[in-house]
Amino acid sequence: MTTPVTIRIRQQGIVRPVGYQATQWAVTVPVSDPISDPPLATDPLSFAPLFVIRTVEGHENLERVASVGDLYVLPVAELDRFDVVGNMAGELFDTAQPGDTLRITSERPYWTDGVAPYLDQDFTVLTPVVVATYSGTTAGANTTISVSGYRFVDADRNRWFKLSGSASNDGWYQILSGAGSVVKVNRAFTGVDGGTIQFFHLQLDPGGPGVEPRYFPTREQNLRWELRRSAVALVSNGTGGRTLRGSSEELVRSVRYTAVLPSMSDANNLFLVSRQQVAELQRAAEVDDTAFSALLTYTAGP
């Protein structure tokens, strides 16, 4: 039989005070507009993460709509992680529990688009996650620590880690710089010591089945934030928030992509190119599995 593949995307353009917001997402729940019988979303759902995103130096761009090959090769990584390179990181990761609200207090006008669930700047916490664990050894009363199995990269500058299991240096430390496996932190250790080093992210709850999943709309730096529980702010005046993905791969797939472009024609062209590429993906994804040949020979060229 032929496996039907229906890919349905929505494209929403909003004129902002600065730039033209172009948001596209693969629909993952049944919708009724335009009229269809039955109302369709992207089916099979495995085709939903179809936007291939390229990340370079903490900045993202839409690379293309996925090819069939991309669907097999590239990992899925949504913008559902939060890290802090400013104040209150330790308080956030030590305090956050499932169901808490992470409120982004920096204004990002293009984060709300009037379509649920993108109505405000409040996000539901799924859990703090440990993204890396190492063992570290301090050499003495200074600000450096040697981290076994770790190599400093510029993206780790200003990140926080938790040191535990040490004799007298447990706590949160911020990486100021590094060279190889040695990092320099924001305060001095008390002497020769060692322990376990853990890096954390906060992971968002995208919501339950039957509703559009909720992620951070764009990759952002330098966000102010607070952590709330039952309408009470538990951690306030957080700074240096970063949105990010759970994969460090340069190319990943995502169900949603938002860009703010300098002109309307740029935004419209992005929509047009995306629609054409989605149509190509839809055609390529229609497979006829009435038969499976043991040997097929294709000839290309003159």
Positions touching another protein (CB under 8 A) are 56-59, 85-87, 142-144, 158, 176-177, 179, 184, 186-188, 220-222, 239-240
Cβ closer to another protein: 46 or 61?
A: 61
CB of 188 to another protein, least distance (A): 5
Instruction: For residue 153, give the nearest of 180, 133, 176, 187 by alpha carbon.
Output: 180
CB of 72 to another protein, least distance (A): 31
CB of 141 to another protein, least distance (A): 8
CB of 223 to another protein, least distance (A): 9
Q: How many CB atoms lie within 10 A of CB 125?
A: 21
258 by Cβ neighbours in 10 Å (0-12 / 13-18 / 19+) ranks as buried
Cβ closer to another protein: 105 or 221?
A: 221
Cβ closer to another protein: 140 or 165?
A: 140
Instruction: For residue 241, give the nearest of 91, 99, 46 by alpha carbon.
Output: 91
List b or e across 102-121, with b for residues whose CB sees 16 or more CB atoms inside 10 angstroms.
bbbeeeeebbebeeeebeeb
Cβ closer to another protein: 37 or 57?
A: 57
> Residue 11 contacts by C-beta under 8 Å, 6 or more apart in sequence?
22, 23, 24, 271, 274, 275
Per the CB < 8 A criterion, the answer to whether 278 and 50 are in contact is yes
Cβ closer to another protein: 49 or 86?
A: 86
CB of 86 to another protein, least distance (A): 7
